[in-house]
Structure formats: structure tokens, C-alpha cells
Amino acid sequence: MGKVIGIDLGTTNSCVAILEGGQPTVIANSEGGRTTPSVVAFGKGSDRLVGQLAKRQAVTNAENTIYSIKRFIGRRWDDTASERQRVTYKCVKGRDDTVDVQIRGRNYTPQEISAMILYKLKQDAENFLGETVDSAVITVPAYFTDAQRQATKDAGTIAGLEVLRIVNEPTAAALAYGLDKGQEQKILVFDLGGGTFDVSILQLGDGVFEVKATSGNNHLGGDDFDNCIVLWMLSQFQEQEKIDLSQDKMATQRLREAAEKAKIELSTLGATSINLPFITADATGPKHLAMELSRSKFEEIVAHLVERTIEPMVQALKDSELKPAEIDKVILVGGSTRIPAVQSALQKFFGGKATDRSVNPDEAVALGAAIQGGVLSGEVQEVLLLDVTPLSLGIETLGEVFTKVIERNRTIPTSKAQIFSTATDGQISVEIHVLQGERAMATDNNSLGRFVLAGIPPAPRGMPQIEVSFEIDVNGILKVAAQDKGTGREQSIRITSTGGLSTSEIERMRQEAEIYADQDKKRIDLIELKNQAENLIYSYESTLKDNGTLIAQELKIQAEESITLVRGLFVDPEVTTERVHQQIDNFQQLLLTIGTSVYRKANSSEASDSIETTILPTNRETSTQFTKTSVPITQEEFDLDFAEEDSTVTVDYEAIE
């Protein structure tokens, strides 16, 4: 194997590193910089600029200069409305409901734009090494979805790189920090980059880097701090000059650059001047923007962003069952961690503990990726990286319940299977709806994809045994398969949906799981009781069909009244689980009386119990909902053989009739 480069593909800046003599080294770009702006520009004709040269001409070519493309990669059009409003280039809806960028009538996917940045980094590495580079380890935010990870991997392929591994950014930073540290310690990596925020807690020791928990926000970063300054400048200028600059793309681009510059200066200065001559003009002549921004004012307008960094730390500590005092080191990663307000908030959260700045926050992720590249190439020995999946994965089951198959913060690679069954007699197909999140109800979680397992032989409900298998590979990319154990018929899906999780979705999944825990529990309990009631009703109706002549008319009337009463409870929004329990118990006692009567009259054995857990279809042929059967799966870890020729499918499905 040749040289393996490590790439930090960032929202605002990217970095490439290589392992030399057992130590990671950052590779400078052709302009001499150690980081490369994640910017692509299209000039006149076929001219294309990448990196610093592209950023330099952005003001005069705003509509054709693409930045922050990482915010769109692997995501749906409907999920990116706020992000699209903040860029100066034109976004259009692409194939499969993706976000494309349109430049002079031609559409480019986020993967293509990202590939241009990766190719620039690849060229810089080849110039430095004097040899061809065709393998890389690329990092992504810990909270990137399966679709975003796959899209990033595709971008590497487009750039001519074999992506050996996708690594979470905070995990890579921990590798850079802990490579030469032999003692055991618990570290928290606080990674606040240009467009994403991640928190990971790791246990280090004896060459093992084990991720205990991860949390974060895919859409919180330095760009958002810049945007706060831009909005402040727009407001101030409109108040002073009565002119709205927000629709002027060239002016907006100048404001963005000035905001970034001011933010950086305020990390070391108490105040900064913002001067933008000839920002616009009106009937009275040209207008100039001249403002003073103090650090205290800056901290005031970004206070809500700083506050949003706290909750993911609380969640990560809770998931890892640790207290702030038990963290040995807090590692800062990402340029935005230089903001004094962020550092102050961290010190306050950890009781005054100083943060560790032994690694360069702009370079740590790329250095860690280079170390992982050395591990994969065999150059680095005795280093084991154990990462985790950030959110739970499962399927929709009866009553729109989210049944988890793989819990969050489980070490990857991992695999697990669970047995499900049908709900109606003669059902010949089922639809598997794959979900990601932490809420109890399917509708409250993120949909990853759907697929149908057809060709199930007609059988009584509950008889078919359908094994649903989940496998997450070392890159955090998910595959799901379903197999009818009776026939061996199998269907699988590689999750490559374009939809990702927005900031609000990520926060909602975490916070609402706590806030609405009691409400969710009641809904789950009522659904389980409804399933129990329907099974009892089904049992009675089967007995009535087979032995109706043996049941007294009075008992039949009582049964029908009880069924009406029980079913009526489930449409009452104020009903309590205790009341439902009582009515179901009464119905069970009535069925016991009916069964005893039938037994005595027929002098035959008692009817066998029906299987309790079922899948209820939306129609007779194709089911969209599952529940667990009483048949447990005997193994948790297993190997899945997904054939290379398996088709890749998107998330948009139509019901199969």
C-alpha cells in the first residue's frame, strides 16, 4: 500500500496531513498555507479556482463562488431552507430531492464540489511527497448521518481517492492528542468548527482509543458566529442609512468577510473597527460602512450560540455515566474554540479546569486522520480505535412505534438482528421502514429508508418469522436486510438516502426524549394494551366462528358489548391506562367464562393460544408496521453477506400493491 493521507474536509477550511517517521505532519498547500479554504469558484469560460484563490475573488464573483457546501452534502432540499437563504450562490433542487448548485446553467452536486476541494488537497500532497497518492482517510462530524457519510465517501471517489475509512472528527482529534500519551485518562473533545459542533468522550490507555459517548449539533459553528455579526451590521446600517443590504449579493459577501475578520480579531482584542467603503449607493451618492464592534457586544449577540454548546456536553456526560469532575482533560478542536466566550463557558462548566491546547485546533483532526491512515497501512502499530454510532437505529412497528434494534453509542462496527412477524392471515409482503433517533414514536424520528420483502407464502398471522438485520460498518454506514426464515427469501437496502438531520431535529431528538418521556410512555402503554385487546377480540371471533353454536346468546351479547366498550376507550384522548387495564381484565374474564362453557359443551380440549405480537398492514398485501414476536433472536452479533450487486435505493418509496 502506498502513502495514505489524512483529510479534514471542513465547512470553512480543510487540511491534509501525512504520517512521516511515525509522526503526523501537516502538508502546506501550493500557496504556503497549512489550511485550505473550502471554497470553489468558477471564473469566465472554463476557469475554476479552489482554495485561497477562490476565496480571494469571492467579493467580485459572489454568485459563482461556492462555500459551506458541507452544509448541503447528503441532505434533502426541504431540510436546508435556512442554509440556502444564507449563501450567495444559486441552489436548485436536484435528483432525488437533493440540493444542487447551479453555475451558469449547469448543475453541480455537493459531492462534485467537495471532490474539487479534495482533489486540490490530493494535488498538494502529491507535490509534497513527489509521488501519486490514491488512498485517504477522511473525517466527518460525529453526528453525520449515513447518507452524509456515504456522500462524503463518494466525493473522495470522484476526486480519485480510495477512501479507506470515514472517521469522526473528535475521534481523530483524540488520536492526535493521545498518540504519545501512555497513561490512562478520560478526555472530552470539544470540536467547534466552521459549520458543525461535536462533543466526544473517550477513554485512552494502552494504545486503545475507546469512544464512550458522542453528541453534537450538525449546524452550529463559526459560520453561525459570523452570521450574527452580519445581521448586526445589516441592522446597524439600515438604522443609520435606511438602506437594506441583505439582497445585495456583493455587499453581503463583503459583510461576510468583514464579519469573519472581526470575529478573529476579537479573540485577542477588546474591540475592532469594521470599515467597508463604497458598500452601496443611492440617489444621494455612495455609502460607506464604518462601525466599531467591542468584544462585549460580540459576546452579547452570540450568547445564544455559546449556550447551545452546553447541552451536548451534558448529554455526552450522561450517556457515558460521568461527572464533569471525572474528565481528566478537555481538548479544544476547531478554530471557533479560540473565541474567549466559548473558553469561558467551558471553564465555568468544568469548575475552573483549564482546557488543553497542546494540539493545534485547526490541524488536530487532519493529524488524527493521518495517524489512522498509518494504522490502516501498517505503519502505526498497537493503536486500536473504537468508535460509536451517535443515534439509535430501528424500524417502525405496530401503532407507529419506533422499535430500536441498535442503541446509540454502540461501538462500531456492529450488527444485530431481531425477529418480527405478520399480522393478518394470508399476508404476502411486508414493508420495512428504517428509522434513526431517540423518540418513542416513529413519526418523531428521522426516516432513513423503506424497502419491501415480498413473496411470503400465505399463512395465518403470526406464523411467518421475518428476521430484520442491521449492520453498521467501520465507516458508520448502515445496511439493513430482511429475510423470511421459512423460505429463505431476502431483501436488503444500503442506506444512502439524501435526507439528513437539521439542527432543530438533532436537538429535538435529544431534548424531547427527556421532556416528553412520560407522554411517550403513556402512548406506548396504550398501544401495547390495544394490541392485547385486538388479540383477545381476534381470539373470541375465531372461537365464535368455529364454535358459535356452543356459546349461549347471552354470552354473545355480553362479548359484543365488551368489545364495543374496549374499542371505544382507545379513541378517548383522556383515557387512562388503568381504566383500559380494568376493561381488558373484565373482557378476559368473560372470555374465560365463554371458553369454559364451550369446553363443557363440546367436551374437547381448550383452544390453543394465539401468538401475541403481530404486524398490522395498511392493506392485506403490504404491511408498513411491525411489532416484535415472542420468539427471541438467539444471537446479537452475526455476519451479513451483502452482495456487491445489491442495488442502492433512495428513500422515496411507493406502496407496492
CATH number at residue 511: 2.60.34.10
d(CA 554, CA 521): 38
Strands 99-103 and 65-67: unpaired
CATH number for position 565? 1.20.1270.10
Same-domain check for residues 60 and 174 = yes
Mean pLDDT score across all residues of the chain = 83
pLDDT of residue 521: 62
Instruction: Quote the percentage of the chain above a pLDDT of 70.
Output: 86
pLDDT value, residue 597: 81
Cell of 644: 456487491
Q: Is the pLDDT of residue 45 over 80?
A: no
* Per annotation, catalytic residue among 83, 100, 154, 169: 169
Q: 311, 646, 299: which is closest to 508 by C-alpha?
A: 311
- Identify the domain boundary among 279, 305, 331: 305
- How high is the pLDDT of residue 516? 44
As a whole number of angstroms, the distance between CA 167 and CA 410 comes to: 15
- 323 in any annotated domain: yes
C-alpha atoms less than 13 angstroms from C-alpha of 59 in its C-beta half-sphere: 10
Instruction: Tell me what the mean pLDDT of segment 616-641 comes to.
Output: 44
- Does 558 share its domain with 501? no
Q: For 116-125, 237-246, 251-260, 508-517, which range has the lowest pLDDT when averaged over its residues?
A: 508-517
Residue 352 burial (C-beta neighbours within 10 Å; 0-12, 13-18, 19+)? exposed
| pLDDT score for 271 | 96
Type of residue numbered 6: G
Cell of 522: 403513556
Q: Is residue 613 part of a domain?
A: no
Instruction: Please give the pLDDT value at position 133.
Output: 93
Q: How many residues does the chain have?
A: 657
Choosing from 3, 8, 520, 534, the catalytic residue is 8
Of the listed ranges 312-321, 351-360, 602-611, the one predicted with least confidence: 602-611
205 with 331, same domain: the answer is: yes
Q: Does 76 fall in a domain?
A: yes
633 belongs to a structural domain: no
pLDDT for residue 285 is more than 50? yes
Examine the pLDDT at 619 and tell me if it is beyond 70. no
Residue 7 has pLDDT above 70, yes or no: yes
Q: Which residue has the higher pLDDT, 473 or 198?
A: 198
**Position 629 in a domain:** no
Of the given ranges (75-89, 583-597, 602-616), which has the lowest mean pLDDT? 602-616
Domain identity same for 79 and 163:
yes
Output the DSSP codes for 261-275.
HHHHHTTT-SEEEEE
| 42 and 136 co-located in one domain | yes
Cβ atoms 238, 253 nearer than 8 A:
no
Contact 494, 642 (CB under 8 A): yes
pLDDT band at 290 (very low <50, low <70, confident <90, very high): very high
Cα radius of gyration (the chain): 29
Q: Is the pLDDT of residue 652 over 70?
A: no
CATH code assigned at 274? 3.90.640.10
Secondary structure class of 287 (helix, strand, coil): strand
pLDDT (mean) for 357-363: 88
pLDDT of residue 508: 45
More confident residue, 249 or 293: 293
User: Considering 79, 124, 154, 191, which one is annotated as catalytic?
Assistant: 191
Higher pLDDT, 621 or 396: 396
pLDDT of amino acid 230: 95
The yes-or-no answer on residue 191 being catalytic is yes
Does 70 have pLDDT greater than 90? Answer: yes
The residue among 290, 305, 320 that closes a domain is 305
User: What pLDDT does residue 179 have?
Assistant: 62
Quick one: pLDDT at residue 509? 39
Annotated active-site residue 70? The verdict is: yes
Same domain, 33 and 78: yes
pLDDT category, 604, cuts 50, 70, 90? low
183-192, 355-364, 523-532: segment of lowest average pLDDT? 523-532
The mean per-residue pLDDT over the stretch 91-98 comes to 86
**pLDDT at position 432:** 87
Query: How do residues 143-156 score in pLDDT, each as one tens digit?
Result: 888 888 888 988 89
Query: What mean pLDDT is predicted for residues 77-83?
Result: 88
- The answer to whether residue 363 is catalytic is no
For residue 345, what pLDDT band results from cuts at 50, 70 and 90? very high
Cell 475552573 belongs to residue: 352
Domain identity same for 159 and 78: yes
Output the pLDDT for position 612.
Answer: 43
Q: pLDDT of 23-40, one tens digit each?
A: 899 999 988 999 999 999
418 has a pLDDT exceeding 80: yes
> Does one domain contain both 135 and 184?
yes
Is the per-residue pLDDT at 461 higher than 50?
yes
641 lies in a domain?
Answer: no
Residue 646 has pLDDT above 60, yes or no: no
Q: Which residues of 30-61 are buried (b: 16+ CB within 10 A; e: fewer)?
A: eeeebbbbbbbbbeeeeeebbbbbbbeebbeb
pLDDT at position 150:
86
pLDDT band for position 164 (cuts 50, 70, 90): very high
Segments forming the whole domain that contains residue 531: 518-602
Show which of 357, 388, 419 is a domain's final residue.
Answer: 388
For the segment 185-208, the average pLDDT, to the nearest whole number, is 90
| Pair (228, 182) in one structural domain | no
Least confident of 129-138, 171-180, 238-247: 171-180
pLDDT above 90: residue 401: no
**427 pLDDT above the threshold of 90:** no
Calculate helix-pair angle for 222-241, 249-265, nearest 10 degrees. Answer: 120
pLDDT at 495: 62
Find the mean pLDDT for residues 507-536. 65
Query: Do 204 and 234 fall within a single domain?
Result: no
Model confidence at 98: pLDDT above 50: yes
Is 169 known to be catalytic?
A: yes
Same domain, 147 and 212: yes
Q: 3-state DSSP call for residue 456?
A: coil
Residue 535 belongs to a domain: yes
**Which residues, 6 or more positions from 517, have their beta carbon under 8 angstroms from its beta carbon?**
none
Q: What is the mean pLDDT of residues 62-72?
A: 93
CATH number at residue 20: 3.30.420.40
Domain count, the chain: 4
Q: Looking at the domain assignment, is residue 207 inside a domain?
A: yes
Q: Comparing 541 with 638, which gets the higher pLDDT?
A: 541
Local structure of residue 97 (DSSP, 8 states): G
Lowest mean per-residue pLDDT among 157-166, 271-280, 634-643: 634-643
Residue percentage of the chain with pLDDT more than 90: 39
The catalytic position among 3, 55, 70, 153 is 70
pLDDT band at 131 (very low <50, low <70, confident <90, very high): very high
Burial grade of 603 (CB within 10 A; 0-12, 13-18, 19 or more): exposed
Question: Of the ranges 477-491, 507-521, 527-541, 629-643, which one carries the lowest mean pLDDT score?
Answer: 629-643
Q: What is the crossing angle of helices 517-547 and 553-569, to 10°?
A: 160
Grid cell for residue 293: 464592534
Is the pLDDT assigned to residue 499 strictly greater than 60? no
pLDDT of the residue at 545: 84
Shared domain for 297 and 314, answered yes or no, is no
| pLDDT value at residue 524 | 65
For residues 357 and 355, what is the distance between their CA atoms, to the nearest angstrom? Answer: 6
Calpha distance 87→38 (Å, rounded): 14
